[in-house]
């Protein structure tokens, strides 16, 4: 939680956090400002002091919505800085950051960089800042394991309510999608529109984006609606031109967020239209039994790796290959069991196999995690995944934040 930041900074010997980039679609900045729609801003959080938000003159109203202490970037006279830097824009920007930090008493110690931003100029500016300010130590952190991600990984009640609301929107849209599919009769095994043309994945996706927009949500990373062979490739988003057919697996994995890059939800169902052929049903049953077992065994403070190993055990016992034996595997169980989510669709903790897991990958209180076992056989034209988002409540209860039936078959006429 945000209230952990000073403690974490103390433990990690950090003098300040320096966050840069836009106010939205930028999890670090969103987290600390509340998602103000700023095109560019900087934020300095000194250890033991409140954050300061640096903004452009034209964005003073939007910056004020953050409720933070503000500082206008134009107070740092860029013309003078550029003269001092002999026209070198990288140096001028580095000098400005040096001054911004010094104005908040940060002239030595470790400063960690954050923000989803253009690496090109950021790398130039911050390596230059390191050169001109040798008493500072400008740092990044290991992938997926930064101090800020650690704070973000435990959600407070307000964050849980926002994720829960996104869950409600997500499952509403999933329900509308199921009804929409059922409302199209099958002719010769293909769902058919009123004009006689087949209903395509592209048609369904357009509807879904529309329903999300109507509810104040968006899918900035797209979503997966993949059929048959494509359902056998976990991140295939599906072929928009393809007609929807009966008796094929459809993986519908949708991970929308609040408009502007706010909190996410993550949810997957596997559907088969009209009926499920034997091979599909048995693959579904294998995934479903794993899903049920894991959901029943999740325990507060248990290491995530234990569940990933358990899923591998179960799938291997059923005759499936798993990623545990071969990182390059393309058929069987080929990914991790789940991940944290919040302002990122993927964040800490992770359910990785034990040799890659961090000791921080545990089901700590306040975590929000996905549980998503799946089996993939592109060569057989099928894949199955089931996913729900779970709140690891401080009282130890594992709560699915938006319930939705797990049924495989979507009824269709014809």
Site for a second copy in 250-279 (CB under 8 A): 259-261
Among 34, 222, 394, 414, contact with a second copy (rule: CB under 8 A): 222
DSSP-assigned letters across all residues of 71-98:
EEGGGS-HHHHHHHTTT-HHHHHHHHHH
Nearest to 19, CA basis, from 78, 60, 66: 66
Site for a second copy in 152-181 (CB under 8 A): none
Which of these segments, 226-234, 244-252, 288-296, 308-316, binds a second copy (CB under 8 A)?
226-234
Among 213, 289, 292, 325, contact with a second copy (rule: CB under 8 A): 213
Tell how far CA 279 is from the center of its chain.
32
Which of these segments, 133-141, 179-187, 299-307, 389-397, binds a second copy (CB under 8 A)?
133-141
Check: CB of residue 249 under 8 Å from CB of residue 227: yes
Check: CB of residue 68 under 8 Å from CB of residue 50: yes
Buried b (16+ CB within 10 A) or exposed e, 88-100: eebbbbbbbbbeb
Which of these segments, 32-40, 171-179, 303-311, 394-402, binds a second copy (CB under 8 A)?
32-40
Which of these segments, 4-12, 113-121, 300-308, 393-401, binds a second copy (CB under 8 A)?
113-121
Quote the CA–CA distance of 346 and 172 in Å, as a whole number.
22
CB of 242 to a second copy, least distance (A): 13
CB of 121 to a second copy, least distance (A): 4
Using CB atoms within 10 Å of the CB of residue 176, give its burial: 0 to 12 exposed, 13 to 18 middle, 19+ buried.
middle
Site for a second copy in 328-347 (CB under 8 A): 328-330, 334-335, 346
Check: CB of residue 114 under 8 Å from CB of residue 19: yes
Which of these segments, 15-23, 158-166, 286-294, 365-373, binds a second copy (CB under 8 A)?
15-23
CB of 22 to a second copy, least distance (A): 7
Site for a second copy in 66-85 (CB under 8 A): 72, 74-75, 77-79, 82
Quote the CA–CA distance of 174 and 255 in Å, as a whole number.
11
Residue 60 sits in the site that holds a second copy (CB under 8 A): yes
Of 168 and 360, which has the nearer Cβ to a second copy? 360
Site for a second copy in 340-379 (CB under 8 A): 346, 355-356
Helical axes 119-132 vs 89-102, angle rounded to 10°: 60
């Amino acid at each position: 939680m945000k209230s952990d930041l000073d403690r974490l900074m103390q433990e990690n010997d950090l003098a300040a956090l320096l966050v840069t980039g836009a106010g939205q679609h930028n999890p670090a900045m969103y987290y600390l400002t509340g998602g103000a729609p700023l095109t560019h801003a900087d934020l300095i959080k000194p250890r033991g002091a409140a954050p300061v938000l640096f903004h452009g003159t034209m964005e003073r109203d939007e910056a004020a919505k953050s409720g933070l202490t503000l500082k206008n970037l134009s107070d740092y006279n860029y013309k003078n800085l550029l003269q001092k830097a002999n026209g070198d824009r990288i140096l001028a920007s580095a000098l400005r950051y040096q001054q911004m930090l010094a104005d908040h008493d940060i002239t030595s110690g470790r400063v960690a960089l954050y923000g989803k931003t253009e690496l090109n100029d950021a790398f130039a500016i911050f390596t230059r800042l390191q050169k001109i300010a040798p008493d500072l130590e400008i740092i990044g952190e290991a992938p997926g394991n930064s101090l800020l991600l650690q704070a973000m990984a435990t959600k407070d009640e307000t964050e849980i309510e926002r994720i829960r609301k996104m869950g409600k929107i997500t499952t509403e849209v999933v329900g509308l999608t199921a009804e929409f599919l059922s409302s199209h009769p099958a002719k010769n095994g293909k769902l058919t529109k009123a004009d006689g043309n087949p209903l395509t994945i592209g048609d369904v996706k357009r509807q879904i984006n529309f329903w999300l927009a109507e509810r104040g949500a968006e899918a900035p990373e797209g979503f997966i609606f993949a059929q048959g062979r494509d359902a056998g490739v976990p991140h295939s988003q599906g072929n928009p031109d393809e007609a929807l057919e009966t008796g094929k697996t459809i993986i519908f994995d949708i991970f929308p967020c609040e408009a502007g890059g706010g909190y996410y939800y993550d949810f997957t169902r596997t559907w088969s239209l009209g009926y499920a052929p034997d091979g599909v049903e048995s693959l579904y049953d294998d995934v479903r039994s794993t899903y049920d077992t894991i959901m029943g065994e999740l325990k507060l403070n248990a290491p995530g790796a234990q569940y990933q190993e358990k899923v591998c055990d179960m799938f291997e016992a059923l005759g499936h290959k798993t990623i545990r034996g071969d990182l390059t595997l393309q058929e069987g169980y080929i990914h991790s069991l789940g991940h944290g989510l919040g302002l990122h669709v993927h964040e800490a903790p992770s359910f990785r196999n034990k040799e890659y897991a961090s000791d921080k990958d545990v089901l700590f209180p306040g975590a929000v995690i996905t549980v998503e076992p799946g089996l993939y056989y592109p060569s057989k034209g099928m894949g199955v995944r089931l996913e729900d988002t779970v709140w690891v409540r401080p009282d130890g209860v594992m709560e699915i934040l938006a319930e939705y039936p797990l049924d495989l078959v979507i009824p269709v006429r014809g």
